Structure formats: structure tokens, C-alpha cells
Copies of this chain bind each other. A is one copy, B any other.
Amino acid sequence: MKVAIKKNILREEDRIGALNRETLRAHGVTAFNLIGSPGSGKTSLIEMAYRELAGKAAMGVIEGDLASDKDTVRLKSLGMEALQINTGRGCHLSPLMVRDALSGIPLDAIDILIIENVGNLVCPVSFDLGEDAKIGLVSVAEGDDKPTKYPLLFLEAEVVILNKIDLIPHTDFNRDSFYLGLRAINPTIPVIETSCRTGEGVVKWVEWLMKNSINRGEF
């Protein structure tokens, strides 16, 4: 009984995820589900992309956090379409939460929607929110063994962002170990190294977003 109920819930979740995708498609919006640990730099990366995309494509954001609207206030102050979801005790965004949020965003006014998930390398990976691709984010401060210890995300994502590379000289992070561990899990996934402090790699990350948009960057 327990299993049957769980299966039904999952099937229902998938149905809503698919519905979200349809809605987004109808408005010409490409959605990316950004997944990383707490403090890996999700909001900073979004901020950098927004500035870089100015005049090329319009970006909107759904922000997932247990509590507070700090990030949304920060992004809105830049002029971004941003909407906060507070999950309370919830460890991930659900397709239904995103469904509700979509009605609060002027979809015709944006080209790219970044869904910033709750900071967590595990739970968010299992849910299809209706995104076109999952983006896996990891900061060098987390150590070089994350692909080995948390393989799910690195299997499901379409790209890995290795962030805070400016901190490498101040940590024990070993690039070779990182790539070795990652390649053992996912031999072909592209990796973009970034630093929001120096700006390194941000252009590459934005180019990836553009190239992987449904209109191939032709806005």
C-alpha cells in the first residue's frame, strides 16, 4: 500500500513537471534547474549571468529556500523578474511549487528561466520541474570528492559548473582528483570553471545557457 501510494504521487509529480514544460514552451522560455550545495554560489552565478545577458536575452528566476527572501530581494534590486518559493521543511522544489510560481512570472517577457533549487546535492535531483536541463554546481571549497560521494547529480546534469576557482590556492582542492572522480561517474559531461569574484568563466557559462536554449541563443 505504502509503495503504491508513493508511486502514484511520483506519477502525479511527473505529470505536473510535463505540464510546466508545455507552459514554458508555449511562451518560448527555456528553463534550467540549478542544483548545488548551500553556499556553492547559485545566486551569485545567476547575478553574473543576468548582467552578461543584458541586451541579448531576458532572464527570470524562481528562488527556492526553506526560509527568507534575501536572494529574491537581491535579484529584484537588479531589475530581474524574480519570485521566491519558501519550502519550510522541504528539501527540494516540487513540480507543483514551480507550477504555482509560473503564474506569477510574466513568461512572455523572459527568454531564460533559472530555477534555483534548495541548496542540496541529493533530493532536488529526483524531481523533473519541467526544466530543459539540470545544471550541477559545486564549489572548490566543498572539496574535490563531491562527484564520488554524491554521484546522482553528476549523472543527471547536462553540465557541471565548478565555482569559486579563485579559492583553489587557499584549499586542498586537487583538480586532477576532481576530474578523475567526475569522469568515473560521467565521462562526457562538460565542465565550466567559474569564479564570481574574478569573473573568470562567466562568459562561458552564459554561452552555454544561450547555446542550450530552445532557440539556440537567437532571441
Contacts and interface: CB of A to CB of B under 8 A. Distances in A.
Interface residues of A, number: 41
A142 B37 contact: yes
A141 interface: yes
Contact of A39 (B2, B66, B123, B142): B142
The A interface is mostly helix, strand or loop, or mixed, namely loop
A121 B120 contact: yes
B91 A120 contact: yes
B37 A149 contact: no
Copies held by the complex = 2
Contacts of A213: none
A171 B44 CA distance: 13
Identify which of A38, A90, A122 gathers the most chain B CB atoms within 10 Å of its CB. Answer: A38
A67 interface: yes
Interface string A33-61: 00001111000000000000000000000
Interface of A: 1-2, 5, 9, 37-40, 65-68, 70, 89-91, 118-123, 126, 139, 141-143, 145-146, 148-152, 164, 166-167, 170-172, 197
User: Which 5 A-B pairs have CB atoms at the shortest separation, nearest pair first?
Assistant: A39-B142, A141-B141, A91-B122, A39-B143, A37-B38
Given A37-B37, A37-B142, A40-B142, 20 more contacts: A1-B5, A2-B5, A37-B39, A38-B142, A38-B146, A38-B150, A39-B146, A65-B149, A66-B122, A67-B149, A67-B151, A70-B148, A89-B122, A90-B122, A91-B120, A91-B123, A119-B149, A120-B120, A123-B123, A141-B141
